[in-house]
Chain A
Amino acid sequence: MIFAGIDVGSLTSKCVLLDHKGKVISSSLGLVGAQSRKAAERVLNEALSKAGLKLKDIRYMVSTGYGRGVVPGANAEITEITCHARGAHFLCPEVRTVIDIGGQDSKAISVSEKGRVLAFATNDKCAAGCGRFLEVIANALEVKLEDMGRLSLQSTKQLEVSSMCTVFAESEVVGLVAAEESVPDIVAAVHRSIARRVRNMAMRIALREKVMLTGGVAKNIGVVKTLEEFLGLSLVIPEEPQLVGALGAAVLALEHSLNSAKAHAANQVTER
């Protein structure tokens, strides 16, 4: 019996498959592009193929993310808020706060000891402080996105970049380049602007340790270190930070099935 979680986000689509004991047996990740449904199908098929399984082997599937409504075959749609909380708790039961920085949104979630959502905050109307922001800046600086973290650690001078608007921030970066400031210094400033924005959002929900950082931006060592400085604590970074939402969805799929089984068993006893 397999339980599937599919997270169709703004930039990427993810799939995690669990067995009946809650062990991760496969996962996959791909770009969404302009077709959420196909992106969901693709990552699901890839994950199944990796594990040597078929669609019919899936007992229950939960979808999440902005594209949760278009995942074919999903038995339930649950928000990424709940899924990230559950996924983070599954990986580290001591986690009490999840900060997720995705492609176009970021969120801070306060989590109970049972992995339930106590409170949450999200950015609204603005992708400043998210993965897309970093992509735009990486393009402007002609560096690879995956090199931004490493470069920022070489910074020797503190510069300032706005955290209010991605478009304005890009203009500022162009200005800094024209002033011949170094790329590492500029990248470090961009990371500080993200960290400040995310920290201010996270403080709205009464931050409690341990704090886990999820989402693609968690792979950026520069953002991680800067955010740790701003928060004054060490962050828990999962091995696959982009998969936490899909993992949480799969866990919820498994839990649903276990609860259904218990309820069925209880009914059997009653009937006897």
Chain B
Amino acid sequence: MAAEQKRYNRVRCTDGISAMMDKFYKDILNAPSQGRKVCWCSGASPYEMLTAQNVANFQTENHSARVSSGQDHMYYIDKAEGEGWPPDTCSYTRINVGVALFIARGEMDKVHPKYRVAPPDFIFAGNTCPAMTQWGESLRRIFDVPMWELDCPFNYDDSDERYLENVKYIRSQLEDFVIFIEKNTGRSYNWDSLKDIVFRRMRQVQQLRAEIAEICKGKPAVMSQFDAMIAMGPAHMVRTDAVTEFYKKMLEEVKERVKNGVAALPGERYRLMWRGNFPWYAVGRMSRWMAANDICLATGAYGMGAGSPHANRLFPPDGFGTGDDPLTFVAWNVGTRGYTRTLEFKMREEVEEFIKGWDIDGVCLHSPRSCRLWSMQEYDMANLIETKYGIPATVIEADHTDSRYYTPSSVDLKLQALIEGIKARKE
């Protein structure tokens, strides 16, 4: 194997993400002292509805990914498993439950300062990810607070009729959610704020990210999937002007790189795509290994998702008949996500668009051991990719935040064999 000396040329603005997230979580920790309510949310839930009401909120997956990236996950996983949570439960959940158990018992001092958050006044969970519903139930019991669940139906046939049905159904639930928010915050709902978030901030961020993804399709890649995944943090977490500014800065930087001929990985020989979530604890290791082997991890829906046509339908087409109703937009966003869609949809919008758009040599499909949501028919996809595109695909079995399921020799074998397969096809 090549000496591990070569590194990716990281996009510099991502250096500021850590400080952004530190500030973000500190704000949540301090929210009660500012008279604000706190809600812990699961990722598939439209937390913009809480932000609009000035409820401090965070996405549990983001928080757990942060813990795992910091290599601190086992402390909280051990806590959760030690109190009965099975090791097969989503590892995001186990980390967050571990954190919750300390906080709920007044043991904040046992949580690393970086991961401290205020206890929730209520919980918001969407069943787009079934594990998160169970997570929500767990936290409801741990903190003895109300929980609100959003039911997100599966779209079995990708038909327009089904879309409309699902969106209407989700919207009707969101009307009830508004009542729940008003009851738990003690004031009328701030519709102007929601409109500003949905129609201005979210749209701006979406457009910026789509433009960044488009620029990153060039060869050599000016930004890697590693940077793109790290840059998801702000997009998924906050709906503030600071986030918009961050993506504006990122856009300027990638444009500058194109102008100056700066590549994410000088001398890239192989362009790979990553499908699925990522083993967060192994970002450093995998980026160094790939760089040393001239592999540019160029794209993937999990980081460059804004570049897919599906993402560009974040907002429903004109003529959808919603006027300026933000709830319909929120419902549309939730109801049309890839999580509740068929294999055909995922192949078309979350795999093929990226293979073609980024001119990919090979695909890695992550099969996370404790994640049902992102365990999306990887072997079927690998077969379809090889058959339809004639490029090799490999399934990497690991986990998103539980490093016990990551075997370096097995992962290295799969990646190296994938590269050998690419070389053989090119001969």
Contacts and interface: CB of A to CB of B under 8 A. Distances in A.
Interface of A: 66, 69, 77-82, 116-120, 122, 124-125, 204, 206
Contact of B386 (A79, A80, A81, A119): A119
B420 A69 contact: no
Contact of B410 (A69, A124, A204): A124
Nearest to A82: B420
Given A69-B1, A125-B407, A117 B379 contact: no
Given A124-B397, A125-B397, A117 B407 contact: no
A117 B414 CA distance: 13
Contacts of A118: 386, 421
Contacts of B413: 66, 79-81, 122
A117 B405 contact: no
Contact of B417 (A69, A117, A124, A206): A117
Contacts of A204: 379, 383
A81 B392 contact: no
Given A66-B409, A125-B407, A117 B1 contact: no
B381 to A, nearest CB: 12
A82 B417 contact: yes
Contacts of A78: 420
Contacts of A124: 397, 407, 410
Contacts of B427: 116
B176 to A, nearest CB: 43
B365 to A, nearest CB: 12
A66 B379 CA distance: 24
Chain B interface, DSSP helix/strand/loop, else mixed: helix
A78 B413 CA distance: 9
A147 to B, nearest CB: 32
A77 B394 CA distance: 19
Chain B, interface size category, equals 20 to 34
Contacts of B409: 66
B19 interface: no
B416 interface: yes
B424 A116 contact: yes
Contacts of B392: 119
B367 to A, nearest CB: 8
A125 B405 contact: yes
A79 B417 contact: yes
B417 to A, nearest CB: 4
Interface in B387-427: 392, 394, 397, 405, 407, 409-410, 413-414, 416-417, 420-421, 424-425, 427
Given A117-B421, A125-B397, A77 B414 contact: no
B386 A120 contact: no
B405 A81 contact: no
Nearest to B424: A116
Contact of B420 (A66, A79, A119): A79
Contacts of B382: 119
A116 B425 CA distance: 8
A122 B216 CA distance: 33
A77 B414 CA distance: 14
10 contacts: A66-B409, A66-B413, A78-B420, A79-B413, A116-B425, A117-B420, A118-B386, A119-B382, A119-B386, A206-B383
Contacts of A82: 417, 420, 424
Contacts of B416: 79
A124 to B, nearest CB: 4
B255 to A, nearest CB: 39
Nearest to A110: B386
Contacts of A122: 410, 413-414
Contacts of B397: 124-125
B1 A77 contact: yes
B425 to A, nearest CB: 8
A206 B383 CA distance: 9
Nearest to B397: A124
Contacts of A206: 383
Contacts of B425: 116
A102 B410 CA distance: 14
Nearest to B410: A124
Contacts of A81: 413, 417, 420
B251 to A, nearest CB: 39
A125 B370 CA distance: 13
